[in-house]
């Protein structure tokens, strides 16, 4: 869930991966769909709490803290660290100078993901996994188009899952992160490294062969280790969560992640709203909805919709998709579901690209004669 132009959570603020790269039995929205909560690893501790609990930069102290957190023998943890190596390429990719040099350009970013290859491969992925996507949508209320789009944006449906050894990447970023002015970044990666070691101890992942992104994200949906522990789903019931080789596990895990972060069934990502002529003052820049529909109407917004789900409660925000090169702005009204996608990757560009690719994929399915839920 992470690439350089969307350096986030999953900014690097906290890749929950899913968590900082996807048929029609029946694909109509269910009016009674309710998410089925998944049991989390470490009952009583949310993924957010785990990610934000300090682990020492001193490796000896780190070993003791991880042993206590996950009930793992200290010698096992030390063995994994002893086999980890610093990856200079990872350090180069996350260097502050490289990050700072990137200007945001919405259309260029969007065109990387909403493009013919992903639409073609996304359509093929949907056709191949139609029953699984329909089952995930029925269980969680997340449209098949959104699930498919996320997997497409993240890895082009498994084509680019990453070639960096996870253990080395997270060890490097946890203990040798090049940006010394942002210690919270290395802290986040130490927490992810701890979760990776827990996965290894539980026999859920061979961390000496597993590869992923330079930031340690893994599988079709690019889940970070903490997200694998907390949101991974063994949908094919083979006794393990395999997000790289089991499309069914990956599909259900993406849906579960979104639901656990606030996805609302039967709500569009971008509702049909006309903004007032100068909406810049309505943009908060945050990652949560800020307006009720009534408040947005008072600011001059209008819509032909009546009694829609997004018109009830504080479900809306106004986003600015900037072109910092030309100074252009594209403003959109977004619902709770848009902000839920930003929990996968804390970037407006990312979430809007997922939604736009999902729309393109859904439109292709409709042209092919299937009834699907529009995102």
- 3-state SS assignment for residue 332: strand
- β strands within 143-194, DSSP E: 164-165
User: Which band of pLDDT confidence, cut at 50, 70 and 90, is reported for residue 353?
Assistant: very high
Whole-number Cα distances in Å, 53 to 35, 260, 325: 28, 20, 38
Q: Would you state the pLDDT for residue 33?
A: 27
User: Structure tokens of 323?
Assistant: 């072109």
- 3-state SS assignment for residue 94: coil
Q: Would you state the pLDDT for residue 101?
A: 58
- Whether the CB-CB separation of 176 and 94 falls below 8 Å is answered with no
Beta bridge partners of 165: 211
Beta bridge partners of 302: 274
Mean residue pLDDT across the chain: 88
Whole-number Cα distances in Å, 136 to 157, 162, 187, 220: 17, 26, 34, 16
Distance from C-alpha of 157 to C-alpha of 220, rounded to nearest angstrom: 6
Q: Which of 369, 371, 336 is nearest to 355 (CA)?
A: 336
pLDDT digits (tens, 9 = 90+) for 289-316: 999 999 999 999 999 999 999 999 999 9
- 3-state SS assignment for residue 367: helix
Distance from C-alpha of 150 to C-alpha of 115, rounded to nearest angstrom: 14
> Degrees (nearest 5) of the Cα angle 290, 183, 209?
100
| Tokens 């969680």, located at residue | 140
Beta bridge partners of 211: 165
Q: Would you state the pLDDT for residue 49?
A: 73
- Whether the CB-CB separation of 2 and 8 falls below 8 Å is answered with yes
User: Structure tokens of 45?
Assistant: 């501790």
Q: Which residue has the higher pLDDT, 48 or 310?
A: 310
Name residues whose C-beta falls within 8 Å of residue 307's C-beta, 6 or more positions apart in sequence.
none
The answer, yes or no, to whether residue 18 has pLDDT greater than 90, is no
User: Which band of pLDDT confidence, cut at 50, 70 and 90, is reported for residue 46?
Assistant: low
Distance from C-alpha of 57 to C-alpha of 50, rounded to nearest angstrom: 16
User: Which band of pLDDT confidence, cut at 50, 70 and 90, is reported for residue 27?
Assistant: very low
What percent of the chain is predicted at pLDDT more than 70? 85
pLDDT digits (tens, 9 = 90+) for 124-178: 999 999 999 999 999 999 999 999 999 999 999 999 999 999 999 999 999 999 9
Whole-number Cα distances in Å, 146 to 201, 241, 373: 33, 21, 10
């Amino acid at each position: 869930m992470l690439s350089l132009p969307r350096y986030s959570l999953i900014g690097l603020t906290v890749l929950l991966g899913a968590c900082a790269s996807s048929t029609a039995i029946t694909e109509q929205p269910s009016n009674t769909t309710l998410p089925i909560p998944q049991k989390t690893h470490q009952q009583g501790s949310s993924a957010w709490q785990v990610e934000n609990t300090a682990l020492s930069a001193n490796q000896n102290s780190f070993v003791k803290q991880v042993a206590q957190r996950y009930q793992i023998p200290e010698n096992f943890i030390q063995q994994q660290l002893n086999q980890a190596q610093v990856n200079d390429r990872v350090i180069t990719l996350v260097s502050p100078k490289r990050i700072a040099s990137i200007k945001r350009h919405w259309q260029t970013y969007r065109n990387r993901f909403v493009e013919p290859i992903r639409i073609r491969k996304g359509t093929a992925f949907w056709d191949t996994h139609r029953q699984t996507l329909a089952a995930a949508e029925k269980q969680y209320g997340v449209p098949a188009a959104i699930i498919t789009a996320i997997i497409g944006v993240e890895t082009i449906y498994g084509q680019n899952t990453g070639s960096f050894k996870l253990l080395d990447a997270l060890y490097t970023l946890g203990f040798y992160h090049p940006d010394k002015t942002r210690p919270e970044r290395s802290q986040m990666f130490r927490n992810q490294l701890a979760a990776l070691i827990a996965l290894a101890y539980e026999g859920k992942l061979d961390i000496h062969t597993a590869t992923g992104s330079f930031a340690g994200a893994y599988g079709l949906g690019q889940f970070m280790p903490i997200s694998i522990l907390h949101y991974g789903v063994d949908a094919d019931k083979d006794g393990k969560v395999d997000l790289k080789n089991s499309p069914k596990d990956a599909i259900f895990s993406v849906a579960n992640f979104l639901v656990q972060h606030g996805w609302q069934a039967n709500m569009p990502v971008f509702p049909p709203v006309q903004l007032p002529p100068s909406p810049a003052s309505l943009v908060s820049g945050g990652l949560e909805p800020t307006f009720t529909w009534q408040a947005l109407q008072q600011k001059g917004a209008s819509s032909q919709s009546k009694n829609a789900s997004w018109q009830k409660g504080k479900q809306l925000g106004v986003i600015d998709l900037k072109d910092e090169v030309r100074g252009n702005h594209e403003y959109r009204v977004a619902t709770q579901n848009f902000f839920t996608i930003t929990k996968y990757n804390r970037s407006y560009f990312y979430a809007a690209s997922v939604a736009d690719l999902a729309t393109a994929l859904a439109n292709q399915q409709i042209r092919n004669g299937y009834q699907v839920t529009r995102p």
